[in-house]
Amino acid sequence: MSATPEIPELEAQESRLTLPHFTYDDAWALGSLLVGLARERRAPVAIDIRRGSQQLFHCALPGSSADNDAWIDRKRRVVERYGESSFLVGARFRAKGTTFEQSSRLDPDRYAAHGGSFPISVEGAGVIGSVTVSGLPQAEDHAMVVEALGRLLEDFRG
């Protein structure tokens, strides 16, 4: 991704990537899509998928570290709290001329509004979980998740 997406584009992604359903098998399919994309690109990432508080999928690829797991937890908590992607939350603070760290009043050791965690939204149910990638620059983490969710949605529509 060459440029950082603007807020309207980030909002449109979330609206467009609402799923008709999200099962355990869907979590596996999404995780497998992300692993495939990461391997193709030799991306040193960790991947996490949750429904509520239950972890449904986790994978750490070569070059990733326990630090990526800590970033996953921090970015995921932002999605859980705000119901929006961690990238969008950070962008909203920057648009106000501040940063998430300065103005959210949340512990930066527990929350990070950096790109890479995206809400899993289901039609008629709203946000039911999150999918998170950590290991690349934040715009690339975010873009990888958006690409995989888009492919999953295409598979659903057949």
Q: What is the pLDDT of residues 7-64, one digit of tens each?
A: 999 999 999 999 999 999 999 999 999 999 999 999 999 999 999 999 999 999 999 9
Per-residue pLDDT, 149 = 98
Q: Which parts of 53-132 fold into alpha helices (H)?
A: 66-82, 86-95, 100-103
> Residue 5's pLDDT band (boundaries 50, 70, 90)?
confident
**Is a pLDDT exceeding 90 seen at residue 101?**
yes
Work out the pLDDT band at 4, boundaries 50, 70, 90: confident
Q: What is the pLDDT of residues 56-70, one digit of tens each?
A: 999 999 999 999 999
Q: What is the predicted pLDDT for the residue at 3?
A: 64
Mean pLDDT of the chain: 96
Full DSSP string of 18-46? EES---HHHHHHHHHHHHHHHHHTT---E
Residue 128, pLDDT > 60, answer yes
CA atoms within 13 A on the CB side of 149: 30
Q: Kindly compute the dihedral angle of the four CA atoms of residues 144, 35, 19, 153, in this order, to the nearest 10 degrees.
A: 80
Domains of the chain, first to last: 7-157 (3.30.450.150)
Contact predicate 18/119, CB 8 Å: no
